[in-house]
Structures are given as C-alpha cells and as structure tokens.
Amino acid sequence: MGDLLKNVYDPENFRRQGHALIDLLADYLDNALSRQPDRVIPWIEPETAEERWAARLNDTGQEPGQLFRQVMEESIKLHHPRYMGHQVSPAAPVAALGGVLNDLLNNGMGVYEMGIPGTAMERAVVKSVAGKMGFGPEADGVLTSGGSLANLTALLTARSATARQPVWTEGNTSQLALLVSEEAHYCVDRAVRIMGWGEAGIIKVPSDDAFRMRTELLEPLYQQAVAEGKEVIAVVGSACSTSTGSFDDLEAIGRFAAMHGIWFHVDGAHGAATIYAEKYRHLVKGLELADSVVMDFHKMLLSPTITTALIFKQGRNSFRTFAQKAVYLLNQEGDQDWYNLAKRTFETTKTMLSLRAFILLQTYGEAVFDEYITTVNDLCASFADWLDARPGWQLAARPACNILCFRVTLPGLDETQTNALNERIRQELLEEGRFYIVKTQLRGKTYLRVTLTNPFTRIGDLEDMALDLEAKALRRTQETS
C-alpha cells in the first residue's frame, strides 16, 4: 500500500478534520438560529454555479475544511427561521450525528448479516410507528428512501395482493386502475405509469373547495370504470395533499374500499406524522383502516433526508411485492424472514435509515414530535388569521396543518396579471434571499406557498415576509402603470 491510501484512512487526520467540521456546523447552527447571516438562500444562476464547481473540481490538494465551508455558505439554510419553503424539516443535530456514524460504517442492509444493528433498529421503529397508527401486532413494514419510492412499493404490493392475474410473473393482461384525488402528489400518477397501466389506469377524483377528495364521487366513478372494463384494485387517500396540506376523509375512503374489497393506501408522507400530535391527530382519523401507509420522517419528524416508513396493516403482504430468486444473496426464498430486507424493498445496498429515527425517539421520546408538529401547525393558523384580516391577500383555503397557499390581489388586475405579479414578486424574493418561499398552481391560479417546518420561525418573520411582498407588488404595479 502506498502513502496516499494510508493518508486517506489515517485516524488522526479524520479526528482533526471531524472536529473542525463539527465546530463549523455548530457555528452554522448558532448563526442560523440567530437569523445570521441575513440571507436564507444565496441565489446563484445555474450556469454560474456549474462553472464555479467545475473549476473547483480541478483544484486538487485542498483541505476538506475549505470545501465544507464553501458548501455550507452556498447552501440554503433550513435552520434559519426565515426558511419557509419546501417540505423538509431542519434536521435535529443529534440525528445528523447519526448520519456521520452511518456513513463511515457503511453497512448495507439488504441482508441481515451486513447490517445487524440497523436491521433490528428498523424493526423496532416500524413496529412503534405501526402501533401509533392504530395497527395491531401483525402490522409490519420497512424504511425506504423517500415517499415516491414508498408509494410505488405500496402500490406494487396492492397489485400483488388484489389483482386477479399474477402480474409479476405473467404481465398485465387487463386494464388495472386506481382511484386518487386530483390533488394527490404526482408520484402516484408516476407509479401507475411505471407499472404499465397508462393514463387509463389513473381515475382522478375531483376535490372540493378545500382541495379534499369528494368522496361522494367514489362510487359513481368506480361503477363507470367497471362498466368500461377496468379492474379497479386500489384507492389512494392523501394525508395530506402536497400543494395545500388538505387531508382527505380517510374514514369515508376506508368504508368505500372495504365495501368493494379493494386496497386502501394512504399517502401520508407529510401528514401521517400528526399521529404524534394530540391536538392534530384528528386529521388522520381513519388511518387505521388503511392497508398501507407511507410516512416521511424527514418532512415533519426532524430527521435528515430521506427517511420514509412504509407500513402494512398485514405485515405478510410486504413479502408479496417482489417475488424473485437471488440465491447468491437470499438463501431462504420461501420464508417470510423480516430480517432480510432486500426481499421487501427496491434497495439492496440499503443504508441504515433507522438510526435517524431511532436516535430521536430514544433521546427525546415521542413528546418532541408532538411539540414540534403543534408548534408549526399553530403558527400556520396564526399567519392565516393575519393574512385574512389584511386587505389585498387571498387564501386558497384555511390551513389544516403547516402548509398555506396565499396570493397578493390588487385592484384593477385581471387573473393573468395577478398570476404574473405573484410569479414576479416571488422571484424577486428568491433572488434577494432574505426569505425562502415557493409557489404553486391551483386551478389555473398562481399562489405563493409556505411550509412552516422551522420551529424557530415566529409570526413576526411571516409578517415581515408578507409586508416585503406587498411592497414589491405595489412597486411592480406602479412601474407598469
């Protein structure tokens, strides 16, 4: 072995570099929570960023501390109280430390012998989550890399458990389909297409004024699909919708699914976490009726990305998803061995996702999730009240959780002009970088959107952001008049 590899693995180098990184991150955390620096996102045009990082790649021989600092300085600051953007929670520091341990150990978890503690921790976390959802001891599941992958896995299981033909071995021989709200996350639509059902396999159920599935339309849409020769095998409820944070009536959907003997899946990537919040748990009433549920730890439960639980009411169903032989890897093809996780997930080299959730539950208990969810949901309701009371603002709907869609409306502007105005002021806000919010389209209208994931955000931060947008809107209107 040459000196270069010895240097790469030198424990003292690692100790020095690791201590420096922790100091850097602790300073970042301290500054961010103190609202420093002033910019939440240091906006850079994509082409400029590409050129900058391409040049740095060729600048070899640098200390890693310099690279760490550059990445930190140019990244969006989720721990800054004026981060109000996408559905990603600011990672709890102790959970991030678990990531360092996981990355260095690098234990894959496709088979038990490669990830003994991680596999056992995953089983403990999954069983704990299933119990919190209201399922019995027969429930089981896995942790996987994100809600999109988890939803696809759940729907593959639904197909295996419910479809009349064995699609896994024989392919699609009939038109399979599922029912889902028009406001559901796009990954459900994508999963249907991946499974080869095509556009005809997606039966969109209209939503009401609050963007919740109109469950009274399930029966006529189901009967119409059957009359068209479709085999409807599942219905998907949203808890909650991505754009508006609206929760479907899970009890009504569950009753419908039971009546027709079809699979009931809940995409609870964001909102299923409310099982931990006493004040908001009613939002997922009926969750226990589902055959499968997806819940992200990284959206509302303080974990690093991406950490998703996929829970099955009947754990044995999770073994039906993938039924193929891999004798070099799995030696007990016929057994439902919970500890060889590659049998139930897409991932074979599966990372130790369980550590992120386990360390939070062991260190702080479920109470930390209750406090966090209640804090951000209450704040969103307060901000909606403030906007409601102020002229010139329009809400898409009252918020159910920590997601709120709203827009500036000024006298004399038509719909097209109002849309363009909200697009423009959001882009200005982005480029200035003091606040970070996003936007969405709802029934042809452009809305600004906040997801309040930082528990240190205060109503004053939100008011300042709204006043800034108001000023930008007035200035932009004056310039074009």
Q: Are residues 134 and 219 located together in one domain of the fold?
A: yes
Counting the structural domains of the chain, the total is 2
Q: What type of residue sits at position 65?
A: G
**Of the residues 365, 382, 414, the one at which a domain ends:** 365
Q: Are residues 251 and 389 located together in one domain of the fold?
A: no
Residue 385 has a CB neighbour count (10 Å cut-off) of 12
Q: Are residues 204 and 191 located together in one domain of the fold?
A: yes
- 262 CB-contact burial (10 Å; exposed 0-12 / middle 13-18 / buried 19+): buried
Q: Are residues 334 and 465 located together in one domain of the fold?
A: no
Kindly state whether residue 183 falls inside one of the protein's structural domains: yes
Burial 244-257 (b: 16+ CB within 10 A, else e): bbbbbbbebbbebb
Kindly state whether residue 226 falls inside one of the protein's structural domains: yes
| Biggest CA pair distance of the chain | 75
91, two tokens: 């990672």
Q: Are residues 358 and 213 located together in one domain of the fold?
A: yes
* The pLDDT of residue 26: 98
Instruction: Please count the helices (runs of H) and the strands (runs of E) in the chain.
Output: 16, 11
Flag residues of the chain having pLDDT under 50. 324-334
Q: Are residues 476 and 404 located together in one domain of the fold?
A: yes
Instruction: State which H helix or E strand residue 439 sits in.
Output: strand 438-442
Kindly state whether residue 42 falls inside one of the protein's structural domains: no
Give the domain extent around 359.
Answer: 101-365
Assess contact for 196 and 251: CB atoms under 8 A: no
Which stretches of 11-92 are DSSP H helices? 11-33, 46-57, 64-74
Kindly state whether residue 1 falls inside one of the protein's structural domains: no
Q: Are residues 133 and 279 located together in one domain of the fold?
A: yes
The CATH number of residue 173's host domain is: 3.40.640.10
Kindly state whether residue 124 falls inside one of the protein's structural domains: yes
Q: Are residues 397 and 299 located together in one domain of the fold?
A: no
Nearest to 303 by CA among 358, 237, 379: 358
Q: Are residues 223 and 127 located together in one domain of the fold?
A: yes
Q: What do you get for the CA distance between the two ends of the chain, in Å?
A: 73
In order of 304, 308, 333, 344, the CA distances from 350 in angstroms are: 16, 13, 19, 11
Q: How far is CA 1 from the centre of its chain?
A: 44
The CATH number of residue 420's host domain is: 3.90.1150.170
Kindly state whether residue 95 falls inside one of the protein's structural domains: no
Q: Are residues 361 and 372 located together in one domain of the fold?
A: no
DSSP state of 240: S
Q: Using alpha carbons only, what angle is made at residue 380 by residues 76 and 236, rounded to the nearest 5 degrees?
A: 85
Question: CA-CA distance, 126 to 147, in Å (whole number)?
Answer: 15
Specify the pTM. Answer: 0.94
Kindly state whether residue 423 falls inside one of the protein's structural domains: yes
* The pLDDT of residue 324: 42
Instruction: State which H helix or E strand residue 159 sits in.
Output: helix 147-162
Question: CA-CA distance, 473 to 425, in Å (whole number)?
Answer: 6
Kindly state whether residue 88 falls inside one of the protein's structural domains: no
> Under 8 Å CB-to-CB from 134, ≥6 apart: which residues?
287, 288
**Of the residues 309, 332, 365, the one at which a domain ends:** 365
What φ, ψ does residue 36 adopt, rounded to 5°?
-125, 140
Q: Are residues 132 and 167 located together in one domain of the fold?
A: yes
Question: CA-CA distance, 443 to 131, in Å (whole number)?
Answer: 38
Q: Are residues 348 and 423 located together in one domain of the fold?
A: no
Assess contact for 229 and 175: CB atoms under 8 A: yes
* The pLDDT of residue 267: 98
pLDDT tens per residue across span 171-199: 888 999 999 999 999 999 999 999 999 99
Residue with tokens 């678990």: 98
**Of the residues 312, 341, 365, the one at which a domain ends:** 365
DSSP secondary structure letters along 359-412: HHHHHH-THHHHHHHHHHHHHHHHHHHHHHTSTTEEESS--SSSEEEEEE--TT
